[in-house]
Structure 1
């Protein structure tokens, strides 16, 4: 299965460049490897700061949590930061169930997330 990511560029109030990565549909074991590879390409292309917009995610499991953890690590290794926004219930419930919700800075919308990205 091929997974397509269409990123948008944004600048934080502190002048940092970041990529907004909308993820739609499945974020589970069916697409995990493809999503990880695409995100690695984004970081390698020069975007250490990522905002994952999860508003259109319809399926999420432990593999999706693994994608979030690996993405956060990739961003930190590149000197950047990762946040999520618009998490649907399926994501929020999974993160709460495994006690990982506090690890991921989460915002209601893209505008708030961009405005609150750390310097």
Structure 2
């Protein structure tokens, strides 16, 4: 799989800038390093609030989960946050089994995610 940097940006009603990063296909050990680099590039561009669009993800394993948790940590360290939207049932199951749905905020759709996104400083 070849992930391309296809981020979109949005602004929340509170004026926060978001980078919307769509992922697709299998999010497993085979592509984890590539996705980690992609997310680091987004952070390097100055975005600290990331919204990961999972609508086209067909599978995620612990490697993919590790990438998301690592990116969440980096966002929060920079004063931002990371949330997921459009999470498929198979991915939601992985989040539930690992209790990561308590750590990663998930929204049903993109519009709701943008409207309700909060960065780490306002979420605490």
SS in 1 for 2:6: coil
Unmatched 5+ stretches in structure 1: none
Instruction: Tell me the distance in 2 between the aligned counterparts of 1:98 and 1:40.
Output: 24
Matches for 1:22-101 after TM superposition, within 5 Å:
22-101=22-101
Instruction: Tell me the distance in 2 between the aligned counterparts of 1:67 and 1:90.
Output: 17
SS in 1 for 2:67: helix
Aligned residues: 119
User: TM-score, with normalisation over the residues of structure 2?
Assistant: 0.91
Whether the aligned pair in 1 keeps the contact of 2:7 and 2:19 (CA below 8 Å) is yes
Whether the aligned pair in 1 keeps the contact of 2:3 and 2:23 (CA below 8 Å) is no
Aligned equivalent of 1:8: 8
Instruction: Tell me the distance in 2 between the aligned counterparts of 1:59 and 1:66.
Output: 14
Aligned equivalent of 2:103: 103
User: TM-score, with normalisation over the residues of structure 1?
Assistant: 0.95
